[in-house]
C-alpha cells in the first residue's frame, strides 16, 4: 500500500523553505504566476498539482521529492554568515580547489600564504560557515554608490543548490541596495538570471595580470 502524502508536513516544509530564502507569499505567487491565495492554500495543507510542484521546487531550490516528503537536509543545516575579510588562506584555497578555480600544480607557497589578499582588499566580503568549515564565499569591489562588482562567488559542491550562493549575493546587495550590480561569468549565467540579473552585451576589456588572465 502506498504511503499517503502528509499535506500538513508538506505545508510546513514550503513555509519554512520560503522563509529561509527570505521570500513572501507574493514573491512565490509572482514567480509562478498564480494568486497569493493559491500559495496560502498550499501552506495550509492543499497539495499543489504536479506541474506547479516542479516549478515550486525550482523556486525553493529543492527537489520535488523533498517537498513531498516534507524533509530536506537544507532545513537542518545551521549555516552562519560572516563578514570577516581575513578568511583563512588554507580554507579558502580548499574551497577554490573544490570548485575548480585553482590547481595544486601551479600554486606556489607565496600564492598560498597570500591566498586571501583579494578578500582583504575588497569592499564587501561575506562567507558561509557550517560550524568551523568554510562552505561558501563572495567578495565585492564597490564605490558604495554607483557600481558594485561581484567576484569569486564560490560554494562547495556538496553545499550547492541549497540557497547559500543566493543568500551570499542577497547579503551583498543589502549593503548597497541602490547600486548597479555587475558580474562577469560564463559558467553561472543561469544562476544569476534566476536571482534578477540580466545579460548585457557590453564590451568587456582586460589586461592580463600576474596571477589572472
DSSP state of 4: P
Do 56 and 138 belong together in one domain?
no
**Same domain, residue pair 102 and 118:** yes
Mean pLDDT to the nearest integer, 44-57: 93
- Alpha-carbon distance of 53 to 47, in angstroms, equals 9
CATH of residue 55: 1.10.260.40
**Which residue do the cell numbers 557550517 mark?**
130
Question: Do 97 and 152 belong to one domain?
Answer: yes
CB count within 10 Å of CB 192 equals 19
Residues 91 and 171 in one domain: yes
Instruction: Give the pLDDT confidence score for residue 10 in this predicted structure.
Output: 93
- State the pLDDT at residue 75: 55
Mean pLDDT, all residues of the chain: 90
> Which of 71, 65, 97, 80 has the alpha carbon at shortest distance from 16?
71
pLDDT, residue 144, reads 96
Same domain, 86 and 175: yes
pLDDT above 80: residue 198: yes
CATH number of domain containing 97: 3.40.630.30
Beta strand extents in the chain (DSSP E only): 79-82, 124-130, 133-142, 147-155, 180-183
* Number of domains composing the chain: 2
Is residue 34 located within the same domain as residue 84? Answer: no
| Residues in CB range of 67: below 8 A, 6 or more apart | 10, 13, 14, 53, 56, 57, 60
Domain shared by 187 and 119, yes or no? yes
* Helices and strands, number each (H, E), in the chain: 11, 5
Answer yes or no: is pLDDT of 106 > 60: yes
Residue 155 belongs to some domain of the structure: yes
pLDDT in tens, 136-175: 999 999 999 999 999 999 999 999 888 899 889 999 999 9
Instruction: Please give the pLDDT value at position 200.
Output: 87
As a whole number, mean pLDDT of residues 119-142 equals 97
* Structure-model confidence comparison of residues 194 and 3, the more confident one: 194
Residue 60: give the domain boundaries: 7-76
- Given a cut of 90, whether residue 21 has pLDDT beyond it is no
Amino acid at each position: 500500500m502506498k504511503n499517503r502524502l502528509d499535506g500538513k508536513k508538506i505545508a510546513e516544509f514550503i513555509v519554512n523553505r520560503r522563509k529561509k530564502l527570505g521570500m513572501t507569499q507574493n514573491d512565490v505567487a509572482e514567480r509562478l504566476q498564480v494568486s497569493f491565495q493559491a500559495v496560502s492554500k498550499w501552506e495550509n495543507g492543499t497539495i499543489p498539482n504536479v506541474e506547479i510542484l516542479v516549478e515550486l521546487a525550482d523556486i525553493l531550490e529543492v527537489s520535488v521529492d523533498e517537498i513531498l516528503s516534507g524533509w530536506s537536509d537544507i532545513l537542518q543545516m545551521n549555516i552562519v554568515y560572516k563578514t570577516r575579510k581575513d578568511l583563512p588562506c588554507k580554507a579558502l584555497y580548499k574551497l577554490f580547489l573544490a570548485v575548480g578555480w585553482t590547481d595544486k600544480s601551479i600554486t606556489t607557497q607565496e600564492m598560498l600564504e597570500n591566498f586571501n589578499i583579494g578578500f582583504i582588499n575588497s569592499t564587501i566580503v561575506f562567507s558561509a560557515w557550517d560550524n568551523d568549515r568554510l562552505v561558501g564565499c563572495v567578495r565585492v569591489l564597490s564605490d558604495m554608490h554607483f557600481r558594485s562588482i561581484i567576484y569569486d562567488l564560490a560554494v562547495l559542491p556538496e553545499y550547492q543548490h541549497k540557497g547559500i550562493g543566493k543568500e551570499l549575493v542577497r547579503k551583498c546587495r543589502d549593503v548597497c541596495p541602490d547600486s548597479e550590480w555587475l558580474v562577469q561569468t560564463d559558467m553561472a549565467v543561469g544562476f544569476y538570471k534566476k536571482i534578477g540579473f540580466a545579460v548585457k552585451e557590453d564590451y568587456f576589456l582586460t589586461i592580463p595580470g600576474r596571477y589572472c588572465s
